[in-house]
Amino acid sequence: MPAEKETIENLRKCPRFNKCSSNLCPLDLEVNLRNNLLDEERCPFTINKKAKSQKDIKTQMPPPILEFVPESNVKILNRRNQKRWLHLLKVQTIND
């Protein structure tokens, strides 16, 4: 298991870190240990369809941040970010 310090370092890479209260974060190295209640705020990078109250929230994760999403967490990303993450992985594989 990753150390708490590593997990927090990875979470801080998110541009929404200081204002986010979501319990499930794609950058969380231990997201599998977390639970999410139905009425809790969701990470915009995991939302497939935005509610009217979320109209100004961007759901596309910035490319430099997408690189820090662990493979085990890709499944919680929204479809668009999943596709972008897979593309990024392919590009990195080709360049290696």
Q: What residue spans define the domains of the chain?
A: 4-95
Least confident of 18-32, 43-57, 66-80: 43-57
Compute the average pLDDT of residues 51-65.
80
Compute the average pLDDT of residues 34-58.
80
For the entire predicted model, the pTM comes to 0.83
List the one residue out of 80, 56, 77, 79 whose CA is nearest residue 68: 77
**pLDDT value for 59:** 87
The model's pLDDT over 1-32, given as tens digits with 9 standing for 90+, comes to 678 899 999 999 999 999 988 989 999 999 99
Share of the chain above pLDDT 70, in %: 93
Q: Is the pLDDT of residue 52 over 70?
A: no
